[in-house]
Amino acid sequence: MAPAAAAAAAAVLRRPHLAGVHSLAGRRQPVVDRVSVLPPATRVSWQRGSGGVAMRRRLWVSASGSMEQDDVGEDAVLPSQVVEEGKVDLLKILRSANTVIPHIVLGSTILALVYPPSFTWFTTRYYAPALGFLMFSVGVNSSVKDFVEAIKRPDAIAAGYIGQFVIKPLFGFLFGTLAVAVLNFPTALGAGIMLVSCVSGAQLSNYATFLTDPHMAPLSIVMTALSTATAVFVTPTLSYFLIGQKLPVDVKGMMSSIVQIVVAPIAAGLLLNRFLPRLCAAIQPFLPPLSVFVTALCVGSPLAINIKAVLSPFGLAIVLLLFAFHTSSFLSGYHLAGTWFHKSADVKALQRTISFETGMQSSLLALALANKFFPDPLVGVPPAISVVLMSLMGFSLVMVWSKKTET
C-alpha cells in the first residue's frame, strides 16, 4: 500500500464518530435525527440548575464507546420514564387493593344472600389454608424483631387476653340471657350467642390490625395465638359456666390448627423475607389483591352454607342482638386499652389493636362446636351470623381507622 493511502486510511480510523451522528469539520449539525442502538438502561440523566432554569442532561453512549450530550427541557418526558411510571402505577394499584376490603366484604355478603352457590363450593376444609395464607401475608411484611418486641409487652398481651376471655364472655352471657328471658327466644339461640363469646380470637383480627397499624400486627398475632392455645381449656370452662354444658374440645386438633394456620405460615413469611428478599419483593405486590379475594371467600362461604339458618324466623332478631354484642365488645376493648395505656405514646394504635382482638373472635370454631356437640341446629345460627357480622364491622373499622392513620 502506498504511504499516502495508508496515512489516509489511518486518519479515517482515528476520526471520532457517534452512533447516528456524522461530524463535519469537528461540529455537530444543529438538527440531527439520532437513534440510540443501546437500551434505555444505558442512558443516564440528571438535573442541574443554572441561572434559575432547571435543565435535564442526557448522556448517550454509542456502540463505539464515544459519547455526546444534549440538553432537554425540564418538561420533556423520556420514553424510559413513561415505562417506569407505568410500572410504578401498576404496583401502586396492586398494593392498594387492601383499601377495598370493606366494600368487597359487603359485596360478598350480598352475593352470598342472593346467590349462595357462588360460595358454597368453598367448604370448611378450605378455611384453614385460607386463613394460613392471610397469616403468610402478614409474615412476609414482618420481621423476627417485630415479634420479639411484641413479646416484650406483656401488659398489652394481658389487656388483649382480658378483653377476649373476660369482657367478651360477660357480654355474651348478657345478650344470651336477654334473648331467652326478655325476648322469649328458644334456649338454643341464647346458648349459641354465649358460645360465640367463649371461643378464642380470630385470625381475621390480625389481618385487620395489619391493614390499620402494620407495626402492631405481630402483637395482635401473639394475642390471638395465646388465646387460641389456652382456648382448649378456657372455652370448655366458660361454656360450662355460661351454657351449662361442658364441651370436650379436641386439644390435639386445636393445637394442630394453631400450627397450620398461625405458626407455620408466619414462619414461612418471615424466612422468605429474611433469606430470599428478592423473591419476597417480587411477590409482595400480588399479596394484597389475593388477600382481598381470600377474605371475601372466608366471609361469603359461611353465610352461603348456613343461609337457611340465617334466613330463619329468628334471623333478623339474632342479627340485631349480635350487632349489639359485637359493638359492645369493640367499644369495651377500645376503652380498656385507652384507660390502661393512657400514658403510652402509641395509645391509639393499642386501642385499635385490642378493640379488634376483643370484638373479633373465631366464630368458625364456635360454629364447628355447635354442629358437633349440640343436637339442636338453632345453636349454630348465632355463630353463622357472627362470622359475617364481625367481619363486616371489623373491616368497616379498618376503612375508618386507616384513613385517620394516614392523616
3-state secondary structure at position 126: helix
pTM score, two decimals? Answer: 0.69
Residue 322: Cβ within 10 Å count: 26
Is residue 60 one of the residues assigned to a domain? no
Map grid coordinates 385517620 to a residue: 404
- Report the domain count for the chain: 1
Give me the pLDDT at residue 23, please.
43
Is residue 97 one of the residues assigned to a domain? no
Is residue 75 one of the residues assigned to a domain? no
Give me the pLDDT at residue 137, please.
83
Beta bridge partners of 70: 58
3-state secondary structure at position 1: coil
Residue range 7-63, pLDDT digits in tens: 555 554 455 444 444 444 444 444 444 444 444 444 444 444 444 434 444 443 444
Is residue 316 one of the residues assigned to a domain? yes
CATH code of the domain containing 218:
1.20.1530.20
Separation CA 185–CA 250 (nearest Å): 30
Q: What is the pLDDT along the chain (407 residues), one digit of tens a residue?
A: 555 555 555 554 455 444 444 444 444 444 444 444 444 444 444 444 444 434 444 443 444 444 444 444 444 544 444 444 444 455 565 556 566 777 787 888 889 889 999 998 998 788 878 888 888 887 887 788 888 888 999 999 999 999 999 999 999 999 999 999 998 998 989 999 999 999 888 878 888 898 899 899 899 989 988 888 888 788 888 888 888 776 666 667 767 777 777 788 888 988 998 888 888 888 888 888 888 888 888 878 878 887 877 777 777 888 899 999 999 999 999 999 999 998 888 899 999 999 999 999 888 788 878 877 888 888 888 988 888 888 888 888 988 887 766 54
356: amino acid identity, one letter: F
3-state secondary structure at position 61: strand
Residue range 103-145, pLDDT digits in tens: 787 888 889 889 999 998 998 788 878 888 888 887 887 788 8
CA angle 286, 291, 293 (to 5 degrees): 105
Is residue 7 one of the residues assigned to a domain? no
Is residue 305 one of the residues assigned to a domain? yes
